[in-house]
Copies of this chain bind each other. A is one copy, B any other.
Amino acid sequence: MFTFEYVDFSTTSQEIRNCLATEDFQRLATTLRGLELGQLIEQFEALKIADAAILYRMLDKDRSLELFQNLDAPVQAELIKTLQQATVVEAFAALEPADRVSLLDELPATVATRLLAGLDKQQRQATGVLLGYRDSSAGRGMTTQFISTHPELTVGQVLNCITPQLNATEHCHLIMVVDRTRRFIGAVRLADLLGQPQDLLISNIAFEIPTAQASEPDTEAARRALERHLDLMPVLDNEGRLIGVLPLGEAIDLLEDAEELRTARSAGSEPLYRPYLGTPLRKLVRARVVWLLVLAVGATLTVQVLATFEQTLESMVVLSLFIPLIVGIGGNTGNQAATTVTRALAMGDVRVSDLGRVMFREVRIGAMLGLCLGAIGFLIASVVFELEVGMIIGMTLVALCSIAAAVGGAMPIIGKFFKADPAVFSNPFISTFVDAAGLIVYLSVAVLVLGR
């Protein structure tokens, strides 16, 4: 049990007004935590509604639910309307995203659904700041365009009750089933309702479906929805209460955008999100130039490596003829491994903890590929040039393919560990690292074989 020390109304009131005026939300939250529910309601009622809405949003989840339930219905409605207003949203939008997430507790499910009900996608996006979920979380992407019902009702009751909503609701193939506290139980198909006896209980035909957490990344939820072909994925808050749904169509669009970003990034450019022929040239240049420069700066590493071995190159200029071949084969081997592992990560076949296993597999695969290519390289280079060149090429390819495959396989996993998109992270790193590594191996082998 907490014991609250006696807090004077007018002192507290002054403190709250000060916090609001200076937008010191951190101090406001602390002040509010020191108040009992009764005092809180007093303070809430004494404020102008726009200020009251900000105060309201700073409460912890439990207390914000308690306070909401203690308000009269018209005041509840006014509070919801005020929370949707630009001035209130902007106050929170001005916070740093990280502060916002740590400062704003999840909204209670009843309040969240009422806040979002009837808003279109754009308005939802704007109001999303108030929800207490990160950008690009499932809670931000969800909609409230769905129909829900309760397990203890009969099929007949439900059909009567939902029929008026059907025309206005886009996503109604699946009806969500929740208990009286909005806790998610399962779903029923609209089609199944029609075929059933009128007095059957909903609890008898509700079935489980995969769900999403409001706080999880929206692309993860979307990928699960696509894999399971789920028309409508319920989005739950951290108490398992239904606050929205992710329709399959929106899941498709989310992944489509993520894919555009990934494809563009993995080739070292920024996504356009608009038709190619209609995009001005300078925008296309801008989307590419930064990455091109980054990759070019990375590539200067190869110049430095080669400069170190300049003497070796001078003593046997024929070695320089194979530089692009060696670098290219290393890059291709690394790329193959990276692509396979990136896909395996996306599919959930490989986890971050599998790093060791993956690298051990890839070293062996790389060695086998290297033996194969090295043998051919040795034969051709020995015949066309000289035996020493053949030996250098052959040995380099065995060593390089092993290294490149292991590094290529490891990069996406390391990228994932640092929460970078594996595909994006791997590409520039592999090309820079493997190019330089390939040259070091090549010329070290040459020094070894030539003895100079």
Contacts and interface: CB of A to CB of B under 8 A. Distances in A.
Contact of A267 (B194, B264, B329, B335): B335
A299 B317 contact: no
Interface stretch (A31-39, A40-48, A286-294, A444-452): A286-294
Contacts of A372: 289, 293
Nearest to A350: B276
A330 B295 CA distance: 11
A249 B263 contact: no
A195 B173 contact: no
B435 A361 contact: no
B320 A275 contact: no
A318 to B, nearest CB: 7
Interface stretch (A51-59, A100-108, A127-135, A277-285): A277-285
A61 B275 CA distance: 42
Number of copies: 2
Contacts of A302: 324-325, 328
B275 A349 contact: yes
Given A267-B338, A277-B350, A310 B321 contact: yes
Nearest to A265: B339
Interface stretch (A9-17, A159-167, A179-187): A159-167
Q: How big is chain A's contact interface, by range?
A: 35 or more
Contact of A264 (B299, B328, B339): B339
Q: Summarize A's interface: helix, strand, loop or mixed.
A: helix
Interface string A302-319: 110011001001100110
A306 B324 contact: yes
Interface of A: 159, 163-164, 166-167, 169, 172-173, 190-192, 194-195, 226, 229, 231, 247-249, 252, 256, 260, 263-264, 266-269, 272, 275-278, 281-282, 284-285, 288-289, 291-293, 295-296, 299-300, 302-303, 306-307, 310, 313-314, 317-318, 320-325, 327-329, 332-333, 335-336, 338-341, 343-344, 347, 349-350, 354, 357-358, 361, 364-365, 368-369, 372-373, 376-377, 431, 435, 439
